[in-house]
A and B are shown apart, each in its own frame.
Chain A
Amino acid sequence: MMDDLDDLLAGASRALVQPSEALVARVLADAADLQARPVWVAAVVPRAGWLAGLAALFGGAGSLVGVGSAAVVGLFFGFVQPDGLGAVSDMWAVGSVDQVDLMPQLDVLLAEE
């Protein structure tokens, strides 16, 4: 009986049920109705890649390019140390700076009051 049953099931598998024209029309009407909604295409959210995520973190692709360029230029100057750069920095710096106190202590502030 199992062989006969396999035969019967295989026959059922080959027999495709044809939907009525009315059903096809209803299904396509549903599809067209949803597609016609104004928010439809706008609702499609493309999958964001890691680069897009990084750009969003920096406030957009333009900002990311700017930050990236600055980093590359900085690295360039760090490696090549162009002639004259020391002279320019010497011109700006008056004398030597041993210590810069960026966080004055609290007692100094209290003493001023």
Chain B
Amino acid sequence: MPRDTLADLADEALVVLYAHGDPDAARLLAGRLLPRVLGYAGRMLADRAEAEDVAQEAMLRLWKVAPEWRQGEAKVSTWIYRVVANLCTDRLRARRRRRAEALDDVAEPADGAASVVAGMIEADRMAALDQALAALPERQREAVVLRHIEGFSNPEIAEILQIGVEAVESLTARGKRALAALLSGQRAALGYEEAE
């Protein structure tokens, strides 16, 4: 199939074409999905190398599931974000376990906000946002990133995180309030002072 025609197709159709051996379908899917899943994994893990591993693994799972893909039953974007969310959760758990083992007798910092404030002095606005996001509880971070950065609707987030829509609304609201609290008082560092 010509590349121009392929570019107009939905992700779901491209997955089916890939499964039928179309060599360009994988390239187009990777071009569409990889930046998004990499960005999401990067915000969840705050580690570029780990985010790349997760993004590659998520794409690999998509290639593997392609022959059984049923058009109309699920959106590829929702499906792959769910895979990324689960992979990130596994890695964050493993990280916490390793940290607990390594720092068995060393007290954890009481609050991530202090490091956020310190980090913002030299960081740009996006870095400050990422640091503040990293200080949020995992579920709140997932909900805020999926809603406000990745642009998913609440029902889609509920599908990705496999929770109810009400829980998504609650997590998003609490996460955003916590984020505002973490960033409050840092308007100058965020470049908003002139707007006042």
Q: Is the CB of B183 within 8 A of A5?
A: yes
User: Cβ of B63: which chain A residues have Cβ within 8 Å of it?
Assistant: 30-31, 34-35
Question: A52: shortest Cβ distance to chain B, in Å?
Answer: 16
- What size tier do the contact residues of chain B reach? 35 or more
Contacts of A32 in B (CB 8 A): 23, 26
State the Cβ distance, B45 to closest chain A Cβ, in Å: 12
Binary contact readout B91-113 vs A (1 if CB under 8 angstroms, 0 otherwise): 00000000000000000000000
- Minimum CB–CB distance from B136 to chain A (whole Å) comes to 13
Contact of A18 among B35, B66, B67 (CB under 8 A): B35
State whether B180 touches A1 (Cβ < 8 A): yes
A45–B149 alpha-carbon span in the complex (Å): 37
A57 CB-CB contact with B under 8 Å:
no
Q: A17 on the interface (CB 8 Å rule)? A: yes
Given known contacts A1-B183, A8-B129, A11-B125, A23 and B21 CB-to-CB distance under 8 angstroms: no
Distance in Å: Cβ of A18 to nearest Cβ of chain B: 6
Kindly identify, within residues 171 to 196 of chain B, every residue whose CB is under 8 Å from any CB belonging to chain A.
Answer: 176, 179-180, 183-184, 187, 190, 192, 195
A32 to B38 alpha-carbon distance, docked (Å): 20
Nearest-neighbor residue (CB-CB) of A6 within chain B: B148
A22, chain B: closest CB distance, angstroms: 8
Q: What residue of chain B has the Cβ atom nearest to residue A42's Cβ?
A: B67
Q: Are B52 and A19 in contact (CB under 8 A)?
A: yes
What is the CB-to-nearest-CB distance from A108 to chain B, in angstroms, rounded to a whole number? 60
Query: Of A9, A12, A41, which one neighbours B20 at CB under 8 angstroms?
Result: A41
The answer to whether A87 has its CB under 8 Å from any CB of chain B is: no
B75 interface residue (CB < 8 Å to A): no
**Which residue on chain A has the smallest CB distance to residue B70?**
A47
* Closest A-B pairs by Cβ, 3 of them: A31-B26, A17-B39, A9-B148
